[in-house]
Amino acid sequence: MRRASSRALPKSCGWASTNVVVRVTAAGDVLVRVRASATWVALPATCLRPTADGWVMMRNAQPGEYNVYVEEADVFRPDLCPA
Protein backbone atom coordinates (compact mmCIF):
# COMPACT_ATOMS: atom_id res chain seq x y z
CA MET A 1 0.00 0.00 0.00
CA ARG A 2 1.35 3.41 -1.00
CA ARG A 3 1.10 6.61 0.94
CA ALA A 4 -0.47 9.70 -0.55
CA SER A 5 -0.92 13.25 0.54
CA SER A 6 -4.41 14.63 0.85
CA ARG A 7 -6.22 17.79 1.82
CA ALA A 8 -9.85 18.03 2.76
CA LEU A 9 -12.02 20.58 1.00
CA PRO A 10 -15.21 21.03 3.02
CA LYS A 11 -18.27 21.91 0.98
CA SER A 12 -20.51 22.74 3.91
CA CYS A 13 -20.30 24.67 7.15
CA GLY A 14 -20.50 21.45 9.20
CA TRP A 15 -17.68 19.21 10.39
CA ALA A 16 -18.13 16.59 7.68
CA SER A 17 -16.28 16.96 4.41
CA THR A 18 -17.82 15.70 1.18
CA ASN A 19 -14.67 16.12 -0.91
CA VAL A 20 -10.99 15.23 -0.59
CA VAL A 21 -8.11 15.76 -2.98
CA VAL A 22 -5.63 12.87 -2.98
CA ARG A 23 -2.19 13.15 -4.59
CA VAL A 24 -0.83 9.71 -5.45
CA THR A 25 2.96 9.66 -5.81
CA ALA A 26 3.45 6.04 -6.92
CA ALA A 27 1.18 3.41 -8.49
CA GLY A 28 -0.56 1.00 -6.12
CA ASP A 29 -3.24 0.81 -3.43
CA VAL A 30 -3.83 3.98 -1.43
CA LEU A 31 -5.64 4.19 1.90
CA VAL A 32 -7.88 7.26 2.13
CA ARG A 33 -8.88 7.94 5.72
CA VAL A 34 -12.50 8.87 5.13
CA ARG A 35 -15.34 6.68 6.32
CA ALA A 36 -16.41 4.16 3.68
CA SER A 37 -19.71 4.66 1.86
CA ALA A 38 -21.14 3.48 -1.43
CA THR A 39 -21.49 7.12 -2.46
CA TRP A 40 -17.75 7.97 -2.70
CA VAL A 41 -16.55 8.50 -6.29
CA ALA A 42 -13.11 9.41 -7.66
CA LEU A 43 -12.14 11.58 -10.63
CA PRO A 44 -10.27 10.50 -12.60
CA ALA A 45 -12.26 7.30 -12.19
CA THR A 46 -10.58 4.56 -10.17
CA CYS A 47 -11.59 1.59 -8.04
CA LEU A 48 -12.76 2.49 -4.52
CA ARG A 49 -13.39 -0.26 -1.96
CA PRO A 50 -14.15 -0.21 1.77
CA THR A 51 -11.52 -1.68 4.10
CA ALA A 52 -12.28 -4.07 6.97
CA ASP A 53 -11.86 -1.21 9.46
CA GLY A 54 -14.21 1.19 7.63
CA TRP A 55 -11.88 3.40 5.54
CA VAL A 56 -11.73 3.76 1.73
CA MET A 57 -9.04 2.05 -0.36
CA MET A 58 -8.15 3.31 -3.84
CA ARG A 59 -7.14 0.12 -5.68
CA ASN A 60 -4.41 0.18 -8.33
CA ALA A 61 -4.32 4.00 -8.39
CA GLN A 62 -1.90 5.59 -10.82
CA PRO A 63 0.23 8.64 -9.93
CA GLY A 64 -1.65 11.91 -10.12
CA GLU A 65 -4.26 14.00 -8.36
CA TYR A 66 -7.69 12.54 -7.61
CA ASN A 67 -10.83 14.32 -6.46
CA VAL A 68 -12.68 11.90 -4.16
CA TYR A 69 -16.20 13.13 -3.43
CA VAL A 70 -19.70 12.09 -2.38
CA GLU A 71 -22.10 11.58 -5.28
CA GLU A 72 -25.44 10.38 -3.97
CA ALA A 73 -27.21 10.73 -7.32
CA ASP A 74 -24.81 8.38 -9.15
CA VAL A 75 -25.81 5.06 -7.56
CA PHE A 76 -25.78 3.12 -10.85
CA ARG A 77 -22.20 3.85 -11.91
CA PRO A 78 -20.14 0.96 -13.34
CA ASP A 79 -17.89 -1.05 -11.01
CA LEU A 80 -14.28 -0.10 -11.82
CA CYS A 81 -12.69 -2.69 -9.53
CA PRO A 82 -11.12 -5.83 -11.00
CA ALA A 83 -12.91 -9.06 -10.13
- Mean pLDDT by groups of 10 residues along the chain of 83 residues: 48 59 95 88 92 94 93 69 76
CA triple 9-12-15, angle to 5 deg = 80
Given this model, what pLDDT does residue 54 score?
Answer: 93
**How many angstroms separate the CA atoms of 31 and 29, rounded?**
7
Contact (CB, 8 A) for 31 and 51: yes
Given this model, what pLDDT does residue 1 score?
Answer: 55
Given this model, what pLDDT does residue 74 score?
Answer: 58
The pTM assigned to this predicted structure is 0.72
For residue 30, the cross-strand partners are 2, 58
* Domain parsing of the chain, residue ranges: 4-70
Q: Which 8-state DSSP code applies to residue 70?
A: E
